[in-house]
């Protein structure tokens, strides 16, 4: 049992809803608290990686503004993942108790009730939620183009941008009783997530429908993939059946190519040895701590463009593959476990 049960019924049959008190700061929390958020770069010993993180942050500020709402506010809860922080991040950093009170966010509960039930395992629930988020582009109820907003608004407008759909994914997971958190690949400029199932954190890219398992069949975490990116190439073919690429060719005739590109981009970019991967906490029950503005244009277009130029040059300097910059240069094929047998 992870914690004390909240009172009341469980309308979704998704398992116990847990309660925990305010956690005391541990020694490690105190050690890292001044190196979180906008100071994440301080945890890297590589000056180029540090600058890469600062370039990413400049782009975020250029797009959203320094007070741009939840998509900026949530970054204050991020901590760079490396040898210095891995033990803490995979132990005490994210509480395993879910504190959601049923009835607090009814629309999200309704969405959840349509995709999971109490007969499903933790893995089945997590993957069902991932698929709903992956396919959110098919559920658009609005033709208005904007960024930002609450998770409810993101679902209704069919949002699929990585940072937005990752928020939706972890919120739905938490309501389902599954601890979940955000994962950022700052230099590549991509947001993903992790969900805690079967006693282990599992990396999920809900925008593209990607997740992985270790050779023993247990979930593969972000840290596992950082240390062994080739895990991506040792998945059963059925894992890649869930992949639905975004923004490559977009043509069904090239679906296998698009999936291969997504696989290679994750392996060689998101888990590049120079990538600045970070983990961040964001909780569905803490929505009152954030603001949720809509954005219809960049807050500072000049600042945004300068940051994009700096990011491009730094990726080149750090050795990002040519196909990252132009998918037409990609010549690889999708690799699966079946090919290794």
* Mean of per-residue pLDDT scores for the chain: 91
pLDDT category at 339 given cuts 50, 70, 90 is: confident
**Residue 148: its pLDDT value, please?**
86
* pLDDT tens-digit map of 219-255: 999 999 999 999 999 999 999 999 999 989 989 999 9
* pLDDT tens-digit map of 291-310: 999 998 999 999 999 999 99
**Residue 247: its pLDDT value, please?**
83
Paired residues of 203 in beta bridges: 194
pLDDT category at 195 given cuts 50, 70, 90 is: very high
**Residue 139: its pLDDT value, please?**
86
**Residue 26: its pLDDT value, please?**
59
pLDDT category at 144 given cuts 50, 70, 90 is: low
Q: What share of the chain is helix, strand, coil (3-state, %, to 5)?
A: 45, 10, 40
Q: Is residue 145 predicted with pLDDT exceeding 80?
A: no
Domain boundaries, the chain: 34-339
Name which of 170, 165, 136 is nearest 281 in CA terms. Answer: 170
Q: Is residue 80 predicted with pLDDT exceeding 70?
A: yes
The mean per-residue pLDDT over the stretch 31-51 comes to: 95
d(CA 137, CA 221): 26
**Residue 27: its pLDDT value, please?**
65
How far CA 82 is from CA of 153, 222, 273, in Å, comes to 34, 11, 11
pLDDT category at 18 given cuts 50, 70, 90 is: very low
d(CA 328, CA 334): 16
| Joined tokens for residue 22 | 């305010």
**Residue 142: its pLDDT value, please?**
64
**Residue 20: its pLDDT value, please?**
47
pTM (2 decimals)? 0.90
Backbone φ, ψ for residue 267 (5° rounding): -65, -45
Between 340 and 267, where is the model more confident?
267
């Amino acid at each position: 049992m992870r914690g004390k049960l909240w009172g009341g019924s469980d309308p979704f049959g998704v398992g116990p809803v847990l309660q925990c008190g305010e956690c005391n700061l541990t020694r490690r929390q105190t050690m890292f608290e001044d190196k979180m958020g906008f100071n994440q770069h301080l945890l890297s010993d590589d000056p180029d990686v540090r600058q890469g993180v600062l370039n990413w942050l400049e782009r975020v500020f250029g797009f959203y503004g320094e007070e741009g709402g939840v998509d900026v506010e949530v970054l204050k809860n991020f901590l760079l993942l490396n040898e210095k922080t891995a033990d803490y991040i995979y132990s005490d950093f994210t509480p395993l108790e879910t504190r959601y009170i049923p009835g607090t966010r009814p629309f999200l509960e309704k969405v959840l009730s349509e995709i999971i039930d109490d007969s499903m395992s933790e893995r089945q629930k997590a993957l069902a939620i991932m698929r709903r988020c992956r396919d959110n582009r098919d559920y658009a109820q609005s033709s208005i183009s904007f960024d930002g907003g609450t998770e409810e608004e993101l679902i209704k407008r069919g949002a699929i941008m990585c940072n937005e759909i990752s928020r939706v994914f972890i919120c739905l997971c938490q309501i389902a009783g599954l601890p979940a958190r955000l994962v950022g690949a700052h230099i590549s400029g991509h947001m993903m997530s992790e969900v805690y199932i079967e006693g282990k954190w599992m990396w999920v890219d809900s925008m593209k429908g990607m997740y992985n398992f270790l050779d023993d069949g247990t979930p593969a975490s972000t840290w596992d993939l950082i240390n062994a990116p080739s895990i991506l190439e040792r998945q059963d073919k059925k894992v890649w059946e869930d992949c639905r690429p975004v923004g490559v060719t977009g043509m069904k005739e090239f679906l296998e190519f698009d999936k291969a590109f997504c696989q290679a981009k994750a392996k060689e970019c998101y888990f590049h040895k120079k990538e600045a991967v970070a983990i961040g906490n964001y909780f569905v029950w803490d929505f009152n701590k954030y603001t949720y503005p809509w954005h219809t244009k960049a807050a500072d277009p000049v600042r945004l463009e300068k940051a994009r130029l700096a990011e491009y040059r730094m990726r080149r300097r750090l050795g990002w593959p040519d196909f990252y910059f132009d998918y037409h240069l990609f010549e690889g094929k999708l690799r699966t476990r079946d090919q290794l047998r």
